[in-house]
Amino acid sequence: MAPMVGTEPAGGSSKNVCMTYFVATSILSATLKREIRRTTGLSDRKLMIEKRRLRPMTSMTVSISVCVFAISLLFAGVTWSDPVSADSSKLDSFATQFVLIGRGTPRPVTGVTLADVPNDDGTAVAISWTLSPDDVKGGLVRRYKIFRALMTDGQQGTFEDVGDVTAGQSVFRDGQCLVGELYSYKVRAVHDSIDGGEEIFQAYSESDAAGPVSPSAQWFDWRRINVTFGVLILCLLIVYYIRQAQSGKPLFIRKIAGLEAVDDAVGRATEMGRKIFYIPGSQDMDNVQTIAGVTILGRVAELAATYDAKLDVPVSRSLVMVTAREVVREAYSKAGRPDAFHDDQVHYLTDDQFGYAAAVDGMIVREKPATIFLLGIFYAESLVLAETGNSVGAIQIAGTGEPSQLPFFVAACDYTLIGEELFAASAYLSREPRQLGSLKGQDIGKGLIIALILIGIILETFHLWEFHRLFTVIE
Amino acid sequence: MRREIPLLITGLAGIVFIVQYFIPHFPFNRFSNWFSDWFSIVAACAIWLGALNLFKLSLEKIYARREGWGYALITIVCFLLMAVIGFSEGRGYSKVGTNFDWMYNYVYSPLSSTMFAILAFFVASASYRAFRARNFEATLLLLAAFLVMLGRVPIGDVLTGFLPPGMRLSHVATWIMQFPNTAGQRAILIGISLGIVSSSLRLILGIERSYLGGD
């Protein structure tokens, strides 16, 4: 099937204009020259000398040329308003028609190939093609439009626009397919003119229909094989050290100053007869940092119950309130003080970030707690809370996995759990062998990563670039 | 059973989430969205628990005339005002020009911005404390901060204009941010990632149970 071409007359008419103008002026000037030579009997050289006498005739030649040119343009305007893909309503002015002179239809793309995108859920097809010969700098192609048709019962359906790419690109990924269906594709090389954001002209040529292709889903994403190995090794290390800990083998875990201070901080609140504020971050239970914050809350609540300190847990999410309430209730029971617990110890304030910060700040200023725990995920409210706590003289233990908030906590709090220490806190405080084993496994994993980084640095220093590609992670 | 069923749900959900990262095939490719939708539904229902709790505590405070009961009164009045206006405007409550929109733009937004603006003053006071040269680390921090801050403003380069371009303060500031700072940030990020893996594994395997209210 021959490639389909749109607005072919547009390209033809521009040629017509030039040709008409050129032929007409050539014939006219040759005729005039011959006539002058015949009537005057002068040679070409002498004619040059007789310039002054011939000036009226030269002026006439120029005038006639301009007239021919203008008439050609008008004819071209009529021709342009006709094509299928040109919007004739927008070609009503002479100026617009003038702009279009010399613009034509690009030649079509060739070699359209279709392929099922690998390692996906079967919803994508990759279309590639050889660029149109007119896709060069300053050439006719502005963009490529991709059309797709669904094949049903061996019949090709209507081609529908599924997207476009700018000139110079020869690949398109159609991610809106259905698994198992058959699709055909066409690529259209488009030349269009935009005026004030409005398309005033479009000429195009289409490739032959390619296909059919049927996208399929895969059962494993092989691009993630490195992550699979990484996760497996890390999990095996953790499980191995959990087993070691269970068998009674003593494990060395480094001291974490912030967690060592928890006992003192709770004790201080008891001695001063003031409250402990525990703030488990400003996000919901679907965040692992909030879960870490809530798990540490259990240990703190147990200590508070043991020391008979007053614990107040203002939260910013309803689900966190429900979970934290259960955790605190169980902790009080475990400490043998179920009577000391009441539901309102864990209370909801608001979901709004700064509304929550304002409410907690107000409580801190009014109630002047002796100890404040800020453990969980925090954003801009971190410093607002920590500085207010600092201003009332509370001892503050903070921790988050947000690197951007850590400097604020370091500056405003007495102890800060930096990143991983937040996740280690629950295991550290529980002193339960299995949990400590997981910490050990995590530390060995960290050692392994440090070793790999060092190897990478050495190899890259010696211009061996391939090593880092092993660690490329596909999002 | 009260403990086992939540543990089973946690373990299964955790495994499914890990597996769906590696398997693009249906139904694994949909799990993430399904769980996310379900979480949104549960959280939306749970908002009433929070709202009722806030309402109850505030009313108790007002009734008992406890310290700060005035704030509780303001909370309830604002809560009811926004709720009544929002519900009275029906589905189009958030459209431009509605009373709810007015309250949002001229009451809520300025209040929120005010809280955010306070941050600037807190940054100043926290920096003042952090940058006191009490020990070696604090002195290093002070020096780095001084160089970066000066390097980020035109006067930094004016003061060091006599030096070769590579040694001017703007370059020093860029170098500090690009190398020591990035290295430190990445070290923290690697630690956090490992911590998340370890923490998640403890939850999936049921070793960490304190989030269920006990060991």
Q: Which of B:135-174 have CB within 8 Å of A?
A: none
Say yes or no for a CB contact (<8 Å) between A441 and B212.
Answer: no
Say yes or no for a CB contact (<8 Å) between A221 and B24.
Answer: yes
Question: Is the bond leading into B154 cis (omega within 30 degrees of zero)?
Answer: no
Most confidently modeled of A130-139, A195-204, A449-458?
Answer: A449-458
Say yes or no for a CB contact (<8 Å) between B201 and A349.
Answer: no
Instruction: Tell me the per-residue pLDDT of A361-388, one tens digit each, with 9 for 90 and over.
Output: 999 999 999 999 999 999 999 999 999 9
Residues in chain A closer than 8 A to B118 (CB atoms): 384
Residues in chain A closer than 8 A to B111 (CB atoms): 354-355, 358
Is residue A325 over pLDDT 90?
A: yes
**Any A CB within 8 A of B128 CB:** no
Confidence of residue A98 (pLDDT cuts 50, 70, 90): very low
Instruction: Report d(CA A153, CA A107) in Å as an integer.
Output: 33
Any idea which of A304-318, A425-439, B101-115 has the lowest mean pLDDT? A425-439
By Cβ distance, the residue of A349, A419, A439 closest to B188 is A419
Residue A358 makes CB contacts below 8 A (sequence gap 6+) with B111, B115
What's the whole-number mean pLDDT along residues A309-326? 94
Which tokens hold the place of A96? 């617009």
Any idea which of A31-45, B53-67, B87-101 has the lowest mean pLDDT? A31-45
Best interface-test mutation with A: which of B177, B202, B203 has the largest number of A CBs within 10 A? B202
Tracing tokens 């398309």 back to the chain, one arrives at A199
Residues in chain B closer than 8 A to A407 (CB atoms): 130
Confidence of residue A71 (pLDDT cuts 50, 70, 90): low
Q: So what's the pLDDT on residue A365?
A: 95
Residue B97 makes CB contacts below 8 A (sequence gap 6+) with none
Confidence of residue A40 (pLDDT cuts 50, 70, 90): low
Q: How far is A179 from chain B (nearest CA, A)?
A: 10
The CA-atom distances, in angstroms, between A189 and each of A17, A27, A198, A256 are: 25, 39, 19, 64
Say yes or no for a CB contact (<8 Å) between A423 and B215.
Answer: no
Q: So what's the pLDDT on residue A48?
A: 55
Of A370, A422, A380, A362, nearest to A398 by C-alpha is A422
CB atoms within 10 A of CB A160: 10
Confidence of residue B153 (pLDDT cuts 50, 70, 90): very high
Is residue A112 over pLDDT 60?
A: yes
CB atoms within 10 A of CB A131: 18
Confidence of residue A96 (pLDDT cuts 50, 70, 90): very low
Is residue A45 over pLDDT 80?
A: no
Say yes or no for a CB contact (<8 Å) between B126 and A122.
Answer: no
Of A380, A301, A377, A383, nearest to A342 by C-alpha is A301
Residues in chain A closer than 8 A to B122 (CB atoms): 383-384, 387, 412
The angle formed by the CA atoms of residues A64, A66 and A68, to the nearest 5 degrees, is 70
Whether A213 contacts A117, CB under 8 Å? no
Instruction: Report d(CA B25, CA A241) in Å as an integer.
Output: 34
Q: So what's the pLDDT on residue A335?
A: 92
By Cβ distance, the residue of B125, B129, B207 closest to A434 is B207
Whether A278 contacts A397, CB under 8 Å? no
What's the whole-number mean pLDDT along residues B136-144? 87
CB atoms within 10 A of CB A302: 26
Q: How far is B56 from chain A (nearest CA, A)?
A: 10
**Any A CB within 8 A of B120 CB:** no
Is residue A58 over pLDDT 70?
A: no
Q: So what's the pLDDT on residue A68?
A: 55
By Cβ distance, the residue of B50, B57, B211 closest to A344 is B57
Best interface-test mutation with B: which of A387, A388, A430, A444 has the largest number of B CBs within 10 A? A387
Confidence of residue A430 (pLDDT cuts 50, 70, 90): confident
**Any B CB within 8 A of A377 CB:** no
**Any B CB within 8 A of A414 CB:** no
Which tokens hold the place of A440? 């050990």
Confidence of residue A267 (pLDDT cuts 50, 70, 90): very high
DSSP at B213: T
Of A418, A392, A396, A397, nearest to A407 by C-alpha is A418
Q: So what's the pLDDT on residue A128?
A: 93
Say yes or no for a CB contact (<8 Å) between B49 and A318.
Answer: yes
- The counts of H helices and E strands in chain A are 14, 15
Residues in chain B closer than 8 A to A239 (CB atoms): 201, 205
Is residue A243 over pLDDT 90?
A: no
Residues in chain A closer than 8 A to B112 (CB atoms): 352-355
Structure ipTM over 0.90, yes or no: no
Q: Which of B:60-79 have CB within 8 Å of A?
A: 67-68, 71
**Any B CB within 8 A of A116 CB:** no
Quote the mean pLDDT of chain A: 81
Q: How far is B22 from chain A (nearest CA, A)?
A: 5
A94-105 burial: b if 16+ Cβ within 10 Å, else e: eebbeebeebbb
Is residue B79 over pLDDT 70?
A: yes
Tell which wins on pLDDT, A76 or A238. A238
Q: How far is A232 from chain B (nearest CA, A)?
A: 11
Q: So what's the pLDDT on residue B28?
A: 87
Is residue A210 over pLDDT 60?
A: yes
Question: Is the bond leading into A407 cis (omega within 30 degrees of zero)?
Answer: no
Residues in chain A closer than 8 A to B130 (CB atoms): 407, 410-411
Confidence of residue A12 (pLDDT cuts 50, 70, 90): very low
Per DSSP, the three-state class of A200 is strand
Residues in chain B closer than 8 A to A366 (CB atoms): 67-68
Say yes or no for a CB contact (<8 Å) between B39 and A347.
Answer: no
**Any A CB within 8 A of B194 CB:** yes
Tell which wins on pLDDT, A382 or A21. A382
